[in-house]
Copies of this chain bind each other. A is one copy, B any other.
Amino acid sequence: MSELRVGIAGVGVMGADHAERVVRKTSGARLVAVSDADQTRAEALAARLAGGSPYDNVRVVEDPLDLIAADDIDAVILASPGFAHAEQLFACLDHGKPVLCEKPLTMDAASALRVVEAEHKLGRQLIQVGFMRRFDPEYDALKQLLDSGELGRTLLLHNVHRNKTVPPSFRSEMIVRDSMVHEVDVARWLFGEEITRITVRTPKPTSLVGDGVLDPQLAVFELASGAMADVEVFVNFQVGYEVRCEAVAERGSATIGLGSGVFTRTGGQWGGAMPADFRIRFEQAYDLEVQRWVDATVRGEIDGPSAWDGYAAAAVCEAGIESLSSGRPVDVALADRSKILG
């Protein structure tokens, strides 16, 4: 397989985002086709992607099951509504197509279990679920820290999950199924075991939400080994988006979601790690530099520091080296830019 040919079923907010991602930010993959119940939306997306990026043509397929079956599609991203997942997942299994399925896997535990069983019967894992926090560098670093045993056994999680606002159609059950579900996966993943018991409590709701919506919610998870997690989910927090997780272990605690990597309290200290190296600190900058250079070059443009910027820096450094040896201020003698560059 030289390049993975991908089809996306469902191109609402999340699916369109994934389509852009496959086209512009993912190497080794090519977006071949999209489908959506709203065909106009799918066509607009395909046109937009083609326009911005001449090296990709994306066709629109009417029926998602045809997309899944298509010979020129190696793998599928499901970003369709949750109620459509079961049928589409079974189709992926039938055609032996690897699939990245946005959460929820299906709408209830019974149908989800049937999917698990069908995949197991196939004898081959094809399904990945979109619990993308496991890929967040902060969560990943937290998981590594806990697994290292450095802090001892993990005892408790305190999780906070806040959205600025959600539409009025977002009901109490959706707070559990669409938001808290991420915390469910985080707890299972970080502890490496199943949740055996859950209590969801509802404090008196915020007044900034429609009648009958129980927001915020406060859940307690109990895990197989006796560990616990408490979780606040508050989807009308007004302030912004916030996801935070503090793991409390026998010899310290570690928090992520503060915007500064893994924040620990251990050994009598609070704090975090310094990057050892410029490549760690500036990895994203290098990636963006090269990607933007590629994109601008394809357009026949420069989108970054120019030769003049290189020259001006050289002139200042020369003066700096003179100042270094003399210990005195040195004027920078720069050529007249307007004479050189017109």
Q: Given contacts A17-B279, A259-B260, A332-B196, are A219 and B320 in contact (CB under 8 A)?
A: yes
Q: Which of A33-41, A142-150, A175-183 makes up part of the contact surface?
A: A175-183
Interface centre among A313, A318, A342 (most CB of B within 10 A): A313
Residues of B within 8 A of A264 (CB): 271
Residues of B within 8 A of A185 (CB): 305, 309, 313
Contact of A317 among B98, B180, B265, B331 (CB under 8 A): B180
Q: How many copies does the complex hold?
A: 4
Residues of B within 8 A of A284 (CB): 135-137, 284
Residues of B within 8 A of A47 (CB): none
| A164 interfacial by beta-carbon distance below 8 Å | yes
Q: Given contacts A108-B318, A320-B198, are A311 and B163 in contact (CB under 8 A)?
A: no
20 further interface pairs, Cβ-Cβ under 8 Å (given A134-B289, A237-B252): A2-B54, A3-B55, A22-B294, A75-B294, A106-B310, A115-B310, A115-B311, A116-B335, A133-B282, A134-B305, A135-B304, A152-B207, A176-B320, A200-B323, A214-B324, A219-B323, A222-B329, A239-B267, A258-B260, A270-B274
Contact indicator A307/B127 (Cβ below 8 Å) = yes
Contact of A27 among B228, B269, B276, B291 (CB under 8 A): B291
Would you list 17 pairs from A and B whose C-beta atoms are within 8 A, ordered by A residue? A25-B287, A27-B291, A120-B340, A129-B309, A135-B285, A135-B304, A137-B284, A153-B206, A155-B203, A156-B218, A194-B334, A198-B319, A198-B323, A221-B316, A241-B281, A258-B260, A259-B272
Residues of B within 8 A of A194 (CB): 312, 332, 334
Q: Given contacts A27-B24, A268-B276, A271-B270, are A250 and B334 in contact (CB under 8 A)?
A: no
| A70 interfacial by beta-carbon distance below 8 Å | no
Interface centre among A270, A284, A321 (most CB of B within 10 A): A270
Q: How far is the CA of A318 from the CA of B110 in the complex (A)?
A: 10
- A window 1-27: CB within 8 A of B: 1-4, 6, 17-18, 21-27
Contact indicator B133/A317 (Cβ below 8 Å) = no
Contact indicator A204/B155 (Cβ below 8 Å) = yes
Interface centre among A227, A243, A264, A323 (most CB of B within 10 A): A323
Q: How far is the CB of A152 from chain B (nearest CB, A)?
A: 7
Contact indicator A287/B26 (Cβ below 8 Å) = yes
Residues of B within 8 A of A234 (CB): 155-156, 248
Residues of B within 8 A of A342 (CB): 120
| A158 interfacial by beta-carbon distance below 8 Å | yes
| A184 interfacial by beta-carbon distance below 8 Å | yes
Residues of B within 8 A of A80 (CB): none
Contact indicator B112/A216 (Cβ below 8 Å) = no
Task: Name A160's closest neighbour in chain B (CB-CB).
Answer: B158
Contact indicator A23/B27 (Cβ below 8 Å) = yes
Q: How far is the CB of A299 from chain B (nearest CB, A)?
A: 9
Contact indicator A274/B242 (Cβ below 8 Å) = yes
